[in-house]
Amino acid sequence: MEAMNVLESLFRWLHVVFGILWIGLLYFFNWVNSGFAPTMDAETKKKVVPELMPRALYWFRWGAAFTWITGVLLLLIVYYHGALVFGTDGHWGIGALLMIALVFGAPFIYDALASSVMKDLQAAFIGGLVLSCVALFLFELIGGFSYRGYAIHLGAMFGTIMAYNVWFRIWPAQRKIITATKEGQAPDPATVALAGLRSRHNTYMSVPLVFMMVSQHATWAASGIGPIWLTLIVAIGWGLVYHIYDRAAAVKGF
């Protein structure tokens, strides 16, 4: 038991460190660099982008990878081994396994939706809230998860989608953008739009994800605020991100 406690502390520490690295750069890209990059002329971009972005994206993508890996390890130790995932009537069964499969299969469902009906921000906002609420009820009713169980699994779902976006959508698109810029060519607008959309989606998901993590240690939340209230938390988080985007666009250089 002592060894498991040590491992939990180690993985939790690393999870937070890598998370700060990942999400800090995510916010830099979306709330700082997005306003700065358009101010550069073509020649400046040709010099700055190939030097700056590969360095930033290196730490960005590996921060994402190790945040996700340490998060999964914490799920295994704290929630599966420690049995915190279930309520009083919950137990391991086909329902719980299906819900865990949903969490880790979610990127493929999301990818299909984000490539079609959720390209528009408003549609993604409304559709994301509905799907989050449905997932929470499925975790509770089919998986038999406790509040802590379904809250952390919604967070794990967001985190898995975000890591998928980083490695399979944002990074491949950015490689093409950086290469084109280095060669003095205009990047493909569709590639730029894809990278920007998925990065924006990640920014929205990051704020409620942080709540799912920290609320595990809040007595009032861990006692069970219910799927509807937790969906409201997601909406509040997304509203906060929307406001910050507006504020970031208004911040100017000297």
pLDDT band at 218 (very low <50, low <70, confident <90, very high): low
Total length of the chain = 254
Computed over every residue of the chain, the mean pLDDT equals 94
3-state secondary structure of 117: coil
How many percent of the chain have pLDDT more than 70? 96
* Domain ranges across the chain: 2-250
- pLDDT single digits (tens) 161-203: 999 999 999 999 999 999 999 999 999 999 999 999 999 999 9
The Cα 58–Cα 192 span in angstroms is 18
The neighbour count for residue 18, using CB atoms within 10 Å, is: 21
The pLDDT score that the predictor gives to residue 121 is 87
Range scoring the smallest mean pLDDT among 97-106, 114-123, 245-254: 114-123
Please name the residues in contact with 241: beta carbons below 8 A apart, sequence gap of 6 or more: 203, 204, 206, 207
Q: Is the pLDDT of residue 83 over 70?
A: yes
The region that residue 8 occupies, defined by phi over 0 for left and psi between -120 and 50 for alpha, beta otherwise, is: alpha
Token pair 């390890």 is found at 73
pTM of the model: 0.95
Cβ-defined contacts of 129-137 (< 8 Å, 24+):
129/231, 129/234, 129/235, 129/238, 132/231, 132/234, 133/227, 133/228, 133/231, 135/102, 136/227, 136/230, 136/231, 137/227
64: confidence class by pLDDT, cuts 50, 70, 90:
very high
Mean pLDDT of the 82-107 span: 89
